[in-house]
Amino acid sequence: MAKNNPTLADYRYSAALDTKSNGKPKGDGFDLKRFDPAAKPFSSGDKTRDKAAVEALAAELDGLQNLFYADRRFKLLVILQGTDTSGKDGTIRGVFGQMSALGVHTIGWKAPTEPERAHDYLWRIHAQVPAQGEVTIFNRSQYEDVLVPVVSGWITPEQTAQRYAHINDFERMLTETGTVVCKFLLHISKEEQRVRLQERLDDPTKHWKFAIGDLDARKHWDDYQAAYSAAVAATGTPWAPWTIVPADSKVHRNLMIATSLKKTLTDLKLRYPEGDPKLAKLIVE
């Protein structure tokens, strides 16, 4: 996708709703291949300036998060979804690293445990959504349940469609009860993934990040890209749209996500609660 003056809206996907099928997204008009993972639509063209902009935005987000916690009218759920090495951990460090630990939580989702598998697949997700005034960041998310099982052939197309509907209804319920849902798909190229995986192998301090399973998943690159496209098409909704983030550049990735979150929080018109009138003339001795 190319545009002289790109905006966040150009990278946001929300499908039209089909009134003939109970308001489900039509799921048409989206293809991940239209987005260049190496693009830098929000870059100044200078890496040093971009890094400084990210740091400045991170500081602003810290202030906005404090106001968000004090306001307590909303809840914020940030979903970071992407292939291995797409930069979910790096985003958390670069964008949210300056935020106070007060009211900010990060959840890293892995394969479900036995107790979790004994429940429906959204049970564990629902238990971790933010409370009033909180910011919760999902490193991976419920979307793993329409990616890995689809590529692996563990669920049928009918079951996949059913899960899309479950997720849409779940996210609609969250938004209708005060949760702002921001979904970011970190979009990297197959070549960039190769480079990052090799870096993990070559650097002893990064060996802990490498798993043989990453190579197995890489063999199914095209299948996963198709699964991501289908998931975004089916679950990009007016209440919880997707933002596609070109992420071959780590700095640009952070810049775009920080810019988007600043706009989201600013648009909420947050305010501090009114103070207790009894405190107006109180003097601490």
User: One digit per residue, pLDDT tens: the chain, 285 residues?
Assistant: 545 678 999 999 998 666 555 666 766 678 999 999 999 999 999 999 999 999 999 999 999 999 999 999 999 999 999 999 999 999 999 999 999 888 899 999 999 999 999 999 999 999 999 999 999 999 999 999 999 999 999 999 999 999 999 999 999 999 999 999 999 999 999 999 999 999 999 998 988 888 888 888 899 999 999 999 999 999 999 999 999 999 999 999 999 999 999 999 999 999 999 888 888 888 888
Q: What is the pLDDT of residue 241?
A: 96
Q: Are strands 17-18 and 24-25 parallel, antiparallel or unpaired?
A: antiparallel
Quote the pLDDT of residue 280.
Answer: 82
- pLDDT for the residue numbered 193: 97
- CA separation for the pair 118, 241 (Å, rounded): 30
Structure-token pair, residue 8: 């966040």
- Of 258, 215, 268, residue with least CA distance to 80: 258
Q: For residue 189, what pLDDT is reported?
A: 98
Give the Cα separation of 116 and 124 in Å (integer): 6
pTM, rounded to two decimals: 0.92
Domains of the chain in sequence order: 24-191+222-267 (3.40.50.300)
Q: What are the angstrom distances between the C-alpha of 253 and each of 42, 54, 112, 256?
A: 9, 10, 28, 5
Cβ(142)–Cβ(113) under 8 Å? no
Instruction: Find out whether 236 and 28 touch, Cβ atoms under 8 Å.
Output: no
pLDDT value at position 182?
98
